[in-house]
Amino acid sequence: MADRTSVIQDLTKAVGADYVLHTLEDLLVFEYDGSVDRAVPMAVVIPESTDQVAGCVNVASRHGVPVVARGAGTGLSGGAVAEQGGIVIALTRMNRVLEVDADNLLAVVEPGVVNIDLTKYVSNLGLYYAPDPSSQRACTIGGNVAENSGGPHCLAYGVTTNHVLGMEVVLADGSVEWIGGKTREAAGHDLRGILVGSEGTLAIVTKIIVRLLRQPEAVKTLLAVFEDLDDASAAVSGIIGAGIVPAAIEMMDDLCIQAAEAAVHAGYPDGAGAVLLVEVDGLTEAVEEEAEAVEEVCNRFNPMQIRTATDEEERERLWSGRKGVLGALGRLAPNYYLVDGTVPRTRLVEVLSRIRQMSVDTGYPIANLLHAGDGNLHPSVLFDERKPGDTAAALDIGGKILEFCVEVGGVLSGEHGIGLEKQQYMPLMFNDSDLDAMARLKPSFATNDILNPGKIFPSGASCGEFSQMSAVSKAGLGASV
């Protein structure tokens, strides 16, 4: 076992005493992320450069202790939790936009840059960064790369991996390498594609070359209100089936509407069973035509009303309700268990009906929030962890939802990653040979199992032995998905 005092002394040499945290009261701040998995690290370091990150990784390698890279701590699968102790490298000081190349539509950023701040930084050039997790006012681009984060507008524009051209990374031996570059294609194997979404288990990203897009000429946001959740689900399939691919199609059920409206006053109507928030963008003429086509499709599925945001203020208000809904669930229950499965759009009606029946059968409310356009579900089982049996029941319901997602041809995660939360469910999708093949990536990167160990892959005698307690989240301000 590593000597803690020696590790802290060596880390202090690497980054300076002011940026090494090791007292219990400081470490408690870093014991969990958005998933409320909890584990106290040995130490937290806050480097300001790639050289300092490499120095910290060298310390970890010499002492044989785990290293967990951390962004803003908004992750929802336990990815930033130091489950096996060791060193947490918090990358929040590395928050500079290093280069903007407007002609080639790219930027070079450090991992601690907050997602929405990049768009603010380049907006005066008529540019923006497309991936937009709902936590984009807090989450960092480095964390987005680790989890291959999605967001409402990824229906049309793709997830993080579609917007990353290259990365500077620190490997487990402290060496620094560039993967990819400033062009669309790079020679050799697509290591960039492997590293995006690897949840910090293969390398630590210290610089990122991202694609930028030009701001659209026009944007229209429509709110379609339905009395019945099934009608809203069918409308989603109808829109995509008609060959329309909006920038975003988001859905909220009655529980989400109730919570969001009370908290944000977004203007969602009373008595709705579900709402769709549909956004189209592009050239002005095309936007007008597409908005009319969306409205025409929605009208086939018995909407209570359809309205279009008349100005930017109303548009922002409608989106504030959507992006603030998880925090608002604290008005309905002290805790939620958030599921992140994805299903084919054509199975939305069936899957949401099954979830609704689970809620009726068990007596636990389930609030349904969806990136509906790409079938990414976010059912939140509401409960109170203070009541005996509540936590176990909520986790059991969540597990059954994930099982059903896979059964209908879906996947375990649309954007939150596997982390600690979904390890036990990996065999639902992958056999032993599949898992073994994926696990071979770690030794090929010579990680020595010090980079974010114990994440993604099941370990131990059987998957059933894993604790599901780690997947419980508390509702409240700042919760987001």
CA distance 479 to 326: 5
| pLDDT tens-digit series, residues 205-226 | 999 999 999 999 999 999 999 9
334 is written with which tokens?
């002290």
Residues making up the chain, counted from first to last: 481
Tens-binned pLDDT, residue by residue, of the chain (481 aa): 789 999 999 999 999 999 999 999 999 999 988 876 789 999 999 999 999 999 999 999 999 999 999 999 999 888 999 999 999 999 999 999 999 999 999 999 999 999 999 999 999 999 999 999 988 999 999 999 999 999 999 999 999 999 999 999 999 999 999 999 998 877 788 999 999 999 999 999 999 999 999 999 999 999 999 999 999 999 999 999 999 999 999 999 999 999 999 998 998 988 899 999 999 999 999 999 999 999 999 999 999 999 999 999 999 999 999 988 988 999 999 988 888 999 999 999 999 999 999 999 999 999 999 999 999 999 999 999 899 999 889 989 999 999 999 999 999 999 999 999 899 999 999 999 999 999 899 999 999 999 999 999 986 333 333 334 444 444 443 444 4
171 closest CA partner among 149, 193, 195, 189: 195
Sequence ranges of the chain with CATH classification 3.30.465.10: 97-214
* CATH 3.40.50.300, domain 4-90, yes or no: no
CATH of domain 97-214: 3.30.465.10
CB atoms near residue 241 (< 10 Å)? 12
CA 441 to each of CA 422, 434, 435, 438, 445: distance values in angstroms, whole numbers, following the listed order: 19, 12, 11, 6, 6
Angle of helix 348-362 versus helix 390-407 axis, rounded to 10: 160
Q: Are the beta carbons of 203 and 195 closer than 8 angstroms?
A: yes
CB atoms near residue 344 (< 10 Å)? 15
CA distance 368 to 359: 11
Sequence ranges of the chain with CATH classification 3.30.70.2740: 333-433+459-474
Beta bridge partners of 289: none
Which DSSP string do the residues of 395-442 spell out, in sequence order? HHHHHHHHHHHHHTT-BS-SSS--TTTTGGGHHHH--HHHHHHHHTHH
pTM for the whole structure: 0.91
| pLDDT tens-digit series, residues 70-127 | 999 999 888 999 999 999 999 999 999 999 999 999 999 999 999 999 999 999 999 9
CA distance 59 to 82: 17
* CATH 3.30.70.2740, domain 333-433+459-474, yes or no: yes
Contacts of 193 (CB under 8 A, 6+ apart): 161
- Only one residue has tokens 């109808």, namely 238
* CATH 3.30.70.2190, domain 218-326, yes or no: yes
Sequence ranges of the chain with CATH classification 3.30.43.10: 4-90
CA distance 331 to 335: 10
CA distance 326 to 250: 14
Tell me the one-letter amino acid at 425. Answer: Y
What proportion of the chain, given as a percentage, has pLDDT over 90?
A: 84
For 309-341, letters b (16+ CB in 10 Å) and e give: beeeebbebbbbbbbbbbbbbbebbbbbbbbbb
Sequence ranges of the chain with CATH classification 3.30.70.2190: 218-326
